[in-house]
Amino acid sequence: MSKSITSSRWWMPLFSLALGLIMFGAFAIGGSVGDGVFAFGVMAVLAGVFAIGATRSETLGWLGGPGRDERWAMIDLRASAAAGLVLILAVIGAWLYEIANGRDGSPYGQLGAVAGVAYVIAVAVLRWRS
């Protein structure tokens, strides 16, 4: 029931714009200024959707910042776990596809290893703290 900076209605719009600027910078460093402008534009549109939609939609309000409470925290946790599970399954699938085609499975093997180690460390830390 506590308020934080992420509860501000401007949190996600500003975060989206900041991420867009970082993406633009990365593309610019790589010599693709046009792609950077496009990426920033997409993130700017997303920022606008969050800024305007947060007051009209519970889901956008949650994603954007305002309206977050303990029920949001529970849904956020479960949604994050579901997204992580899908990502891990996709990585494992891609890794199996790569090795079945005679390649070494990079970088999916390494990504899967990172996910596995991160999970074990998270379980150990959370168990220690609870």
Partner 1 sequence: MRNEIRSLRAAHELSQQQLGEAMGVSRQTINSIEKERYTPSLPLAIALARYFERTVEEIFHVEVDH
Contact residues toward partner 1 (CB under 8 A) are 1, 58, 67, 69-72, 74
User: What residues have CB less than 8 Å from 8, skipping those under 6 apart?
Assistant: 65, 66
The C-alpha atoms of residue 79 and residue 61 are separated, in whole angstroms, by: 16
Helix or strand run (H / E) with residue 96: helix 70-100
- Which of 26/73 has CB closer to partner 1? 73
The C-alpha atoms of residue 29 and residue 51 are separated, in whole angstroms, by: 29
The distance of closest approach from Cβ of residue 56 to partner 1 in the complex, given in angstroms and rounded to an integer, is 13
Kindly report the length of the chain: 130
Amino acid identity at 6: T
The distance of closest approach from Cβ of residue 74 to partner 1 in the complex, given in angstroms and rounded to an integer, is 8
- Which of 78/103 has CB closer to partner 1? 78
The distance of closest approach from Cβ of residue 41 to partner 1 in the complex, given in angstroms and rounded to an integer, is 32
- Which of 69/104 has CB closer to partner 1? 69
- Which of 40/62 has CB closer to partner 1? 62
As given in the structure block, the two tokens for residue 111 are 């990504």
The distance of closest approach from Cβ of residue 4 to partner 1 in the complex, given in angstroms and rounded to an integer, is 12
